[in-house]
Structure 1
Amino acid sequence: MGSMQGQRSYGGVSGDERAARRRRQLLDAGLSIFGSRGYRTATVREVCREAKVADRYFYDEFHGMEELLIAVYTECLDRLEAAVADTLGSSDALSEKVRPGLESFLTVVADDPRLARVVWFEVLGVSPIVEQTYLGRMARFGELLVGASLHPLALPRALEPWVSSALIGGISHVVMTWVAAGLAAPRDDVLDALEIFLDSVAARISPEDT
């Protein structure tokens, strides 16, 4: 998207650089609005005003508000996955991965409640396309958790997607409850509960089961 006019340089800044800056501003505005006031009542004009971008540039980057929501949601999941993956990569021992990984995950959630609202509330029930994106990213995140918390030889391949869905579903519901209550419960209590949950699943499955 974009035009030849947008490729010209002004003040030493190329058209591509200006477009990238506008896109960044729109994404940041989307997170701010969707994560505070919600997606369903948001408008293009409101987003552009928050982003300090002229309305006409919105459609250079996005076909509509739903596409912006998907882009914002995708960035939020990227942040969560990166935080967990970085922690998981610091140790080869499963027993040393679970709690630090969960702690990194909850830290991102607690540090930016806007992200939590977008990830677990605003994307639900919007449209089939958004739902497909949500289910796909949750499945990917579940696979990351399975790889981190279960013995690599312990789980029959046919069960992997179902256990993955169960893990991410359970964790998501706990986080939704925590966020909906205003993060009032101590983070360590939530962390302990999730660790017990994952440890229980891991204890139920052993390499001898395969």
Structure 2
Amino acid sequence: MRTYDGMTAEERVSARRRRIMEAGLDLFHAQGYPRTSIRAVLRRSGLQGRYFAENFSSLDELMAEILKEVNREEAAKCQEALDAAGTRRDRARGILDVLARGVTDDPRKGRVKLIESLAAGPLAARERRRGMGQMAGLVQSLLREDWPDPGIDVTAMSLAVVGGVNQILLNWADGSFHFSREGVVDQTLHLFEAVAEFGGAPHRA
């Protein structure tokens, strides 16, 4: 297999893709999706136009791929929290802490996921829905541990929890809420526990 600068052709394609994704992540965070162009991404990455087309069909697809990577990283960490020993409350807190750390550990990823991806197109919107559905599945697995009331749809309530948590995190990320990371975890845990308690209690019309 022929190499150039010690890299195969496949490795060079992968490296260029990574440079473009990092450039997009930087710019989406620093100046916002609406003010970012493909030309700006290329300038930031130091690559020529043909290399963008080699990997992405549009800026929307670039956003969707960045979002997919962020969702994949968070889902893996949330699954670890779900699989950990402890009470349901402990494991729910673990998941919520992962999501809060997603805002603080790399602010670029937090802002792009929660705020800038909203301004992108249908590909990013589809990936947002997929990621939220995956997270709702994890929440649902916790709620089902004690959900005796068949009159309340646990799938719908799981989606409601994820949507509510997402909105709290969004407002925290944009500076509307002035919680510490521990504080935002506490607030989102209150929401989870309220839904869990409601579903675990006898339903009254």
Deviations for 1:68-92, whole angstroms, at most 9, x for unmatched residues?
A: 0100111111122222222221126
How far the C-alpha of 1:168 sits from its partner, in A, is: 0.9
Residue 202 of structure 1 is matched in structure 2 by: 196
Residue 179 of structure 1 is matched in structure 2 by: 173
Residue 186 of structure 2 is matched in structure 1 by: 192
Which stretch has the larger CA shift, 166-175 or 198-207? Answer: 198-207
Please show how residues 110-189 of structure 1 align to structure 2 within 5 Å.
Answer: 110-151=104-145, 154=148, 156=150, 159-181=153-175, 184-189=178-183
C-alpha separation in 1, matches of 2:149 and 2:73 = 27
Q: 1:27, 1:72 within 8 Å by CA — same for their partners in 2?
A: yes
How far the C-alpha of 1:15 sits from its partner, in A, is: 0.3
Q: 2:149, 2:199 within 8 Å by CA — same for their partners in 1?
A: yes
Q: 2:147, 2:196 within 8 Å by CA — same for their partners in 1?
A: no
Count residues in correspondence.
Answer: 203
Residue 47 of structure 2 is matched in structure 1 by: 53
- RMSD over equivalenced CA pairs, Å: 2.4
* Pairing 1:84–2:78 present: yes
Give the residue type in structure 1 aligned to 2:194. Answer: S
Structure 2: segments with no counterpart, 5+ residues: none
Please show how residues 61-72 of structure 1 align to structure 2 within 5 Å.
Answer: 61-72=55-66
TM-score, scaled relative to structure 1: 0.85
How far the C-alpha of 1:132 sits from its partner, in A, is: 2.5
Please show how residues 102-113 of structure 1 align to structure 2 within 5 Å.
Answer: 102-113=96-107
C-alpha separation in 1, matches of 2:149 and 2:109 = 32
Deviations for 1:31-86, whole angstroms, at most 9, x for unmatched residues?
A: 11112211112111211222222222110011111110100111111122222222
- The percentage of counterpart residues that share the same residue type is 25
C-alpha separation in 2, matches of 1:71 and 1:193 = 30
Q: 1:97, 1:149 within 8 Å by CA — same for their partners in 2?
A: no
C-alpha separation in 1, matches of 2:152 and 2:194 = 20
Deviations for 1:119-151, whole angstroms, at most 9, x for unmatched residues?
A: 111122533343222222211111112223541
Which stretch has the larger CA shift, 152-161 or 89-98? Answer: 152-161
Which stretch has the larger CA shift, 85-94 or 43-52? Answer: 85-94
TM-score, scaled relative to structure 2: 0.87
Q: 2:21, 2:62 within 8 Å by CA — same for their partners in 1?
A: yes
